[in-house]
Structure 1
């Protein structure tokens, strides 16, 4: 019974992650703001809810890699490192998942992602000095804003949707690896 619950829970979590990763294709279908995808929210979501920590990192990164192939953005190690940091923020709240902890992890994750991916020394078009770093961070602020808004919206959908599914279907309801029936 426990194995069936774990399998069902894993399947539902995986499907939600795949659906969230599909939001990266929105620029190909609809006009939308840069960095307005569910990827940041799914990194926090995976880190906080997938029991196996290795899979918590692998699933969102695999979803990113697959979507990179289809949308043709290329592969940026720095972006993947940023998302690894966001999954780690999700790991930090896994024992106390509340709306407040989700919001805090989402903001912290987006800021860490912003700091990592906008570090000027990573880009040849900014001078490699303090002014270049400052310029890179200033130019990245609209992307940070979009990511924060997207993480709030998509995080609400992911966490809220999963919460509602757990309420409805006992087979996916677990708490720290233990079945919880309320």
Structure 2
């Protein structure tokens, strides 16, 4: 029992460290490993509440060195969107084989979509700067202007997810998760 707790603590710490380092060193805006570490946390720990702590810590720690948010509403929706993939990671624990890989790719693409929809709505609705008119046209303009970020985020989420899950499976840790599901 003690080994499992130690392993879980190490995995938790590594996921937070990877997320923070990736967010601080992002090669391009919106290309970070946060969705990937959150998916892996949900997959590894199997409890969304525990897994959701990983991206929340990543965001809190990395925000210490990054620009702040315009207001609490925008920040809250961004944090919520970053924690959402934890549920998808738990769902990944079910299934195996080719179908599992299709689920993994799907789960890696959903977080960018959720983030794009929620964060841009928040910026449009609660921005203190007059970036976009508070009309349907202004909302559509906000979403349109964010499409390049959305594409980069989606590509980054997919790449980081494949790297992290691939590394876990190559290390044989996938068997550990499957044995936890059986017990």
Q: TM class by shorter-chain length? A: 0.7 to 0.9
Q: How does 1:103-114 map to 2 (within 5 A)?
A: 103-114=105-116
Deviation track 1:56-77 (CA, whole Å, cap 9, x = no partner) reads 01122112111111x2322522
Deviation track 1:106-131 (CA, whole Å, cap 9, x = no partner) reads 11121111100111213342111111
> Shift of the alpha carbon at 1:87?
2.3
Query: Which secondary structure state, in structure 2, belongs to the residue aligned with residue 174 of structure 1?
Result: helix
1:22 and 2:21 are equivalent in the alignment: yes
Query: Which secondary structure state, in structure 2, belongs to the residue aligned with residue 137 of structure 1?
Result: helix
Give the TM-score normalised by the residue count of structure 1: 0.81
Note the residue ranges of structure 1 that are not aligned, 5 or more in a row.
Answer: none
Give the TM-score normalised by the residue count of structure 2: 0.81
Q: How does 1:138-149 map to 2 (within 5 A)?
A: 138-149=144-155
Of 137, 140, 165, the residue aligned with 1:134 is: 140
Note the residue ranges of structure 2 that are not aligned, 5 or more in a row.
Answer: 70-74
Give the total of aligned pairs. Answer: 171
Give 1:56's aligned residue: 51
RMSD over aligned Cα atoms: 2.4
Q: Confirm or deny: 8 A CA contact 1:126 1:132 kept in the other structure.
A: yes
The CA distance in 2 between the partners of 1:157 and 1:105, in whole Å, is: 14
Q: Confirm or deny: 8 A CA contact 1:24 1:38 kept in the other structure.
A: yes
Runs of 4 or more consecutive aligned structure 1 residues displaced over 3 Å after TM superposition: none
The CA distance in 2 between the partners of 1:83 and 1:152, in whole Å, is: 15
In structure 2, do the counterparts of structure 1 residues 26 and 16 end up closer, same or farther at CA, with 3 Å as the change threshold? same
The CA distance in 2 between the partners of 1:134 and 1:158, in whole Å, is: 34
